[in-house]
Amino acid sequence: MRRVIASLWFATVSAGQNFKRNLGVSLAGVFTMGLILFLVGGALLVTHSVNTVLEHQQANASKIKIYLSDNASLSAITDFSTRLQHDSRVLAVSFEDKDQAEKEASQDPQISQALQTLGSNPLPASLNLTVRRLTDLGALDSMARNSPIVDKSTATDYNPDVINKLHTLIDIIEIVGAVIAAILFVVSVVIIMNTIRTAVYARRTEIEIMKLVGATDWFVRWPFILEGILGGVLAAVFSGAIVAGGYNLFVHYTHSSIFGVPFDGPYTFALLVILAVGGVAVGAFGSFLGVRRFLNV
């Protein structure tokens, strides 16, 4: 027991001492690791934010207005509305009469002015649908067009172009995000391994002496692994602070714009945990690999 505690103590103290004695190399390692964690965190956040915005757009896009003919009877409208409500593809149906349509349209000052000039209300009543899946919009649109109560001139506000573009955009962003993450992963492993190898190389005499006087492999390894973990934690703190701070500022500045990104608390927390775990894992594993070459004495 005494020996185990003494070993742990030795590993911890020498990890700290080594970190301090080779402060330049240690900080360079922390900085590199921090920079990469920052890039990883940044890439994850940007992808997440873009997806949030797009999902918001998608939520809007999953709505369709079915314009009703002015001649349609109330019972026919109710029948059609009931049929839609029982359709499994439909999430919600609401009826908007001509007055409501006018009120909503009047929010735009130009339209309001035009309506006033016109004197009468040309806007049709409508059934507003929210669908479960975007891909069902096309089918619902054609079903509506075949109904006799629908306004023949402008049946719906369905615009397949916008929806297809949105789909493509989401796909592209997901692919680009995955590619960037993969590249960053490879780059980070290579850079971190080399940084740690440089740090270990600076202490090869120490390792050589340890091996010559008969220290076990794990006894030699532990201080370096602890040092790697220490570096990883510092890098995670440093990059986590910048990523979370930057995200906060970004949310703050885009708050009033059309691309307003809402602040996602749980996601930020998860991201910080990912960075911390990633930093510790990469630091420990990098040190393990870095020492391995010098252990073969």
Partner 1 sequence: MSVAIAERPQVASPVTSLRPVISFHGVNKVYPNGTTALREVDLAIHEGDFCFLVGASGAGKSTLVRLLIREEAATTGRIFVDGQEVSRMSRRRLPKLRRKFGIVFQDYKLLTNRTVAQNVAFALQVTKPGQRHLREKIEETLWIVGLEDKLEKYPDELSGGEQQRVAIARALIHRPRIFLADEPTGNLDPDTSWGIVQLLLQINHRGTTVLMATHNREVVDLVRRRVIAIEDGRVVRDEAQGRYLRQGEATL
Summarize as ranges the residues that interact with partner 1 (CB under 8 A): 2-3, 5-7, 9-10, 21, 205-206, 208-217, 219-220, 297
Nearer to partner 1, 4 or 74 (CB): 4
CB of 29 to partner 1, least distance (A): 18
Nearer to partner 1, 56 or 211 (CB): 211
Strands 63-67 and 126-131, by their bridges, are: antiparallel
CB of 1 to partner 1, least distance (A): 9
CB of 12 to partner 1, least distance (A): 12
With residues binned 3-state (H G I as helix, E B as strand, rest as coil), the percentages for the chain, rounded to 5, are 75, 5, 20
In 3-state terms, what secondary structure has residue 95?
strand
CB of 206 to partner 1, least distance (A): 6
CB of 8 to partner 1, least distance (A): 9
Nearer to partner 1, 281 or 297 (CB): 297
Return d(Cα 103, Cα 5) in angstroms, integer. 77
Nearer to partner 1, 140 or 210 (CB): 210
Q: Which of 163, 172, 114 is closest to 139 using CA atoms?
A: 163
With a CB cutoff of 8 Å and minimum separation 6, the contacts of 116 are none
Angle, CA 282 vertex, CA 202 and CA 182 arms, to 5°: 120
Nearer to partner 1, 8 or 281 (CB): 8
- Are 223 and 276 contacting, i.e. CB atoms less than 8 angstroms apart? no
